[in-house]
Amino acid sequence: MSLSLKPRNPVRAKISAVGSFVPPRLLTNADLEKMVTTNDQWITERTGIRERHIVDQGTATSDLAAEAARNCLAHRNIPADTLDAILVATVTPDMFFPATACLVQTKIGAAGAWGFDLSAACSGFIYTLQVGAKLIESGAHKRVMVIGADVMSSILDYTDRSTCILFGDGAGAVLLEAAEPDEIGLVDFIHEIDGSGASALYMPGGGSLHPSTPETIAAKMHFVHQEGGAVFKVAVRKMAELSEALLTRNGLTAADIDLFIPHQANKRIILATAERLGMPEEKIVINIGQYGNTTGGTIPLAMDTALSEGRLKKGMTILLASFGGGYTVGATLLRWEF
């Protein structure tokens, strides 16, 4: 079976370019061995992560996001001032306000664009992708830049071995434009949130509930807190469930998917999800070994990895899936059009 859907809207959205950026500095498993009681073998076997990139002090999420956006624009060979909107998925904005999107807009010179940030943790990118797609499909906009970017190192406790090994800093961007009449582009999505999981993965301090005080700092409330085992199980179950439901409602099976590009949280989560879906390993994009979990950045970074390896080609049917703090879950079906 293949994708031959009748367009539901006169205008469909497609991804027309991808760009990504990670800061040059590496934090390897060997480096972490010197910081916490851990070892390369444990991290590699339990997560698949070998190294991650982290920023130098003074580099913020908007810097990574702007660089990813510039790379994306360069691949499409268009100037920044042709963008109608910039949407940024992040849980580590430069500051609460202004939105990171505003800072990116001025850094890349996207005069005339509007935009905002969207907070959905590790599902942020695919949620933002759908919001951007609706701006294209409605006819309101011609070019929307969707960016997933996080500086996770800014909210990690580098004395907590159960979290600090998992995450890295990075950004990825995609350009959304209207599909040509013979193109399909973005097809369908299913998203779910479940706030009953809020305290399994969260950063409790700094918001309106626990504003920053010397006490919140002493209690380490400005760092990521996680019940790793609980998150692991729900992540596998829900990513598989939503992906399966999305395939079924579009008359597809895993065999119809050319490439599965999941959120990169843990290689074992990815493989267990794929196994439930009946997706063979050669169809999965996995780059977590190099980058760790960059939260908003993982899926567009993985798209860029697949493009650079020649694995992502025009006409392919692609499944995206994500899971993150919230809980937030998502699955997206699309056809690759460039």
Given the rule CB under 6 A, which residues bind ligand COA?
38, 42-43, 46-47, 122, 161-162, 165-166, 226, 228-229, 231-232, 235, 265-266, 269, 293, 323-324
**Phi (first) and psi of residue 250, to 5 degrees:** -105, 15
Query: 263 an active-site residue?
Result: yes
Query: How many other C-beta atoms can be found within 10 angstroms of the C-beta atom of residue 9?
Result: 12
Q: Please identify, using beta-carbon distances, which residue of 35 and 95 lies nearer to ligand COA.
A: 35
Map residue 206 onto helix, strand or coil: coil
Considering beta carbons, is residue 35 or 140 the nearer one to ligand COA? Answer: 35
Shortest distance (Å) from residue 12 CB to ligand COA: 29
- What amino acid is encoded at 126 in this protein? I
DSSP secondary structure letter of residue 1: -
169: Cα separation from own chain's centroid: 12
Q: Are 66 and 88 in contact (CB under 8 A)?
A: no
Q: Which is nearer to ligand COA, 202 or 338 (CB)?
A: 202
Q: Which is nearer to ligand COA, 287 or 317 (CB)?
A: 287
CB closest to ligand COA, residue no: 228
Residue 222 C-beta: closest distance to ligand COA, Å? 18
- Whichever of 12 and 267 has its CB closer to ligand COA, that residue is 267
Q: Angle at Cα 249 formed by Cα 248 and Cα 250, nearest 5°?
A: 90
Q: From CA 273, how far away is CA 283, in angstroms rounded?
A: 13
C-alpha separations of 115 from 13, 118, 141, 240 in Å: 18, 10, 12, 32
Please report how close the Cβ of residue 79 comes to ligand COA at its closest, in angstroms. Answer: 35
> Of the two residues 42 and 116, which places its CB atom closer to ligand COA in the complex?
42
Under 8 Å between Cβ of 239 and 261: no
Q: Annotated catalytic, 164?
A: no
Exposure of 42 by Cβ count < 10 A (0-12 exposed, 13-18 middle, 19+ buried)? middle
195-219 CB burial, b ≥16 within 10 A, e <16: eebeebbbbbbbeeeeeeeeeeeee
With a CB cutoff of 8 Å and minimum separation 6, the contacts of 4 are: none
Find the catalytic residue in 122, 164, 225, 287: 122
State whether residue 288 is helix, strand or coil.
Answer: helix
CB of 72 to ligand COA, least distance (A): 24
Least distance to ligand COA from the beta carbon of 131, Å?
20
Nearest to 179 by CA among 337, 2, 3: 337
Based on CB atoms, which residue is closest to ligand COA, 74 or 230?
230
Please indicate whether residue 293 is annotated as part of the active site.
Answer: yes
- Smallest distance, Å, CB 256 to ligand COA? 26
CB of 251 to ligand COA, least distance (A): 30
What is the residue whose two structure tokens read 């950026």?
Answer: 21
Residues with catalytic roles: 122, 263, 293
